[in-house]
Amino acid sequence: MPGRAGIVVDMAINDNISIQPGLHFVQKGVKEEEGGESLALSLNYGEVPVNFIYNFGETSSSFLLEQGLLLVWAFPVS
């Protein structure tokens, strides 16, 4: 069953700049059946996104510029 779980923290540097690091567990997969044959593939990943955000306005509906990094690693599936 594919899914995603994680946490993200918004750390304000000043009124316009913030950093959003996170930690996610991601599960992806596929299941195919054809002619009585069945094939299932399941992949588990850990992700660490780090986003840098610049806010051009003073309200929650202002323009944002975001740039980030994403570190990903795969967990072995038995």
pTM over 0.95: no
Q: Are 19 and 53 in contact (CB under 8 A)?
A: yes
Q: Which domain holds residue 33?
A: 3-75
At 41, give phi and psi (nearest 5°): -130, 130
* 1 has pLDDT over 70: no
CA–CA–CA angle 42, 50, 62 (5° rounding): 115
Q: How confident is the model at residue 7 (pLDDT cuts 50, 70, 90)?
A: very high
Give residue 35's pLDDT. 87
At 16, give phi and psi (nearest 5°): -110, -20
Please count the structural domains in the chain.
Answer: 1
Closest to 48 (Cα-Cα) out of 14, 19, 4, 8? 8
Q: How confident is the model at residue 40 (pLDDT cuts 50, 70, 90)?
A: confident
